[in-house]
Amino acid sequence: MGSLELFAKENNVPIIQKDGLNFLINFIKENNVKNILEIGTAIGYSAINMALISSDINITTIERNKQMYDLAKENVKKFNLENRINLIFGDALETIVDGTYDLIFIDAAKAQYIKFFERYKSNLSKKGAIITDNLNFHGLTAHPEKIHSKNLKALVSKINNYRNFLKQNQEFRTKFYEVGDGIAVSKME
Ligand SMILES: C[S@@+](CC[C@H](N)C(=O)[O-])C[C@H]1O[C@@H](n2cnc3c(N)ncnc32)[C@H](O)[C@@H]1O
């Protein structure tokens, strides 16, 4: 797995942080998660790590960037996981996914988190969970006054909107964890 981490670092590909990944792996083990839908594949790092937990775990993962999708395809092949990781090339805001999943992992464009959540919540099994990463956004969501760039300010404000959306959501109960870059676990009430 070291090679994927190294590639991500050298090529500035954002991948889940180590302790965030460990959190995800423990969650999958403790909750006996078998079917996972991931929004945001990048080079396949998190998908491959989740698939390696157990041979009865299946993952569908969506990526809109062709270069990333192609790299993920190569990496999945290297790990012989083609039969358990289903890579979808497309925009997750338009993709239609069938079936239900024990876990939906949202790790794509941060400004669109509410849209992803609303679009895919119907694909969640009754006792399933939606996990979202990057909710602290390097500590900036708690300290928006430190940001000077207009674009970054807008993005941080969108992430904070998503946090509020989760907090006020009547259908889902969310727990926030100060792990990795900030993780939320949302389950149906
Ligand atoms: C943080 S990276 C994913 C990292 C990956 N989950 C991991 O930890 O190894 C986010 C990825 O989401 C993709 N993405 C962003 N918006 C998307 C969308 N609307 N549909 C599909 N993919 C999207 C980006 O191209 C990028 O590769």
- What distance in Å separates the CA atoms of residue 69 and residue 74, rounded to the nearest whole number? 9
CA-wise closest residue to 21 among 39, 32, 3, 5 = 5
Ligand 1 and 183: CB distance under 6 A:
no
Q: What's the 17 CA to ligand 1 centre distance in angstroms?
A: 14
Ligand 1 and 178: CB distance under 6 A:
no
pLDDT tens sequence across 109-158: 999 999 999 999 999 999 999 999 989 887 887 788 888 888 888 888 89
Q: What's the 108 CA to ligand 1 centre distance in angstroms?
A: 4
Contact 129, 117 (CB under 8 A): no
Q: Which helix (H) or strand (E) holds 146?
A: none
What is the domain partition of the chain in residue ranges? 2-188
- What distance in Å separates the CA atoms of residue 93 and residue 180, rounded to the nearest whole number? 25
CA-wise closest residue to 37 among 123, 166, 135, 134 = 123
CATH pick for 2-188 out of 3.30.930.10, 1.10.150.20, 3.40.50.150, 3.40.50.720? 3.40.50.150
pLDDT tens sequence across 99-112: 999 999 999 999 99
Q: Is residue 11 classed as helix, strand or coil in its secondary structure?
A: coil
- Tell me the percentage of the chain whose pLDDT exceeds 90: 84
